[in-house]
Amino acid sequence: MSAGHALLQRRAAGVLLHITSLPGPHGCGDFGPAARHFVDWLAAAGQSVWQMLPVHPVGPGHSPYQSVSAFAGCALMVALEPLVERGWLAAATPPPFSAHTVEWERVVAWRMQRLREAAVGFAARASAAERDAHAQWCAREAGWLDDYTLFKAIDTAYRRGGGEGGWWRWQRPLAAREPAALAAAARTLADDIAFWRFVQWCFDTQWAALHAYARERGVAVMGDLPIFVAHHSADCWARPELYQLDAGFEPSVVAGVPPDYFSPTGQRWGNPLYRWERMAADGYAWWTARVRRALALADLFRIDHFRGFAGCWEIPATSPTAVDGRWVPGPGSALFDALEAALGRLPIVAEDLGLITPDVVALRERHGFAGMKVLQFAFGGDAGNAFLPHHHPPEAVVYSGTHDNDTSLGWWRGASAHERAFAAAYLGLGPGADDTTVPWALVRAALTSPGRLAIVPMQDVLALDGTHRMNRPGTTEGNWGWRFDWGMVGAAPGRRLAALAAASGRAPIERLGA
How far is it, in rounded angstroms, from Cα 208 to Cα 297? 8
The pair phi, psi for residue 201, each rounded to 5°, is -65, -45
Catalytic residue among 192, 299, 304, 352: 304
How far is 502 from 500, CA to CA, in rounded Å?
5
Distance CA 169, CA 407 (A): 40
- Other beta carbons within 10 Å of 510: 10
Q: Other C-beta atoms within 10 Å of 144: how many?
A: 20
204, 395, 404, 406: the catalytic one is 404
Cα–Cα distance for residue pair 68/96, rounded to 1 Å? 29
Please, what sign has the CA dihedral across residues 167, 170, 175, 181? negative
Q: What is the DSSP string of 359-426?
A: HHHHHHHHTT-B-EEEGGGTTSS-TT-TTSGGG--TT-EEES--TTSPPHHHHHHHS-HHHHHHHHHH
Distances (CA, A) of 287 to 139, 216, 278, 282, 293: 21, 30, 12, 10, 10
User: Which DSSP state fits 239?
Assistant: -
Length of the chain in residues, anyone? Answer: 514
CA distance 290 to 171: 28
In the structure, how many helices (H) and strands (E) does the chain have? Answer: 18, 12
Which residue pairs, CB below 8 angstroms and at least 24 apart, start in 423-429?
423/378, 423/379, 426/378, 426/379, 426/388
Mark whether 351 is an active-site residue: yes
Active site residue 404: yes
Phi, psi of 182 (to 5 degrees): -65, -40
Give me the helices (H) in 16-59, please.
Answer: 33-44
Q: How far apart are CA 318 and CA 254, in angstroms?
A: 9
Residue 2 is which amino acid? S
In the chain, the N- to C-terminal Cα span, in Å, equals 32
Q: Respond yes or no: is residue 250 known to be catalytic.
A: no
The dihedral built from the CA positions of residue 464, 468, 471 and 475, taken in this order, carries a sign that is: positive
Amino acid at 244: Q
Catalytic entry in 155, 351, 352, 395: 351
The residues carrying an active-site annotation are: 304, 351, 404
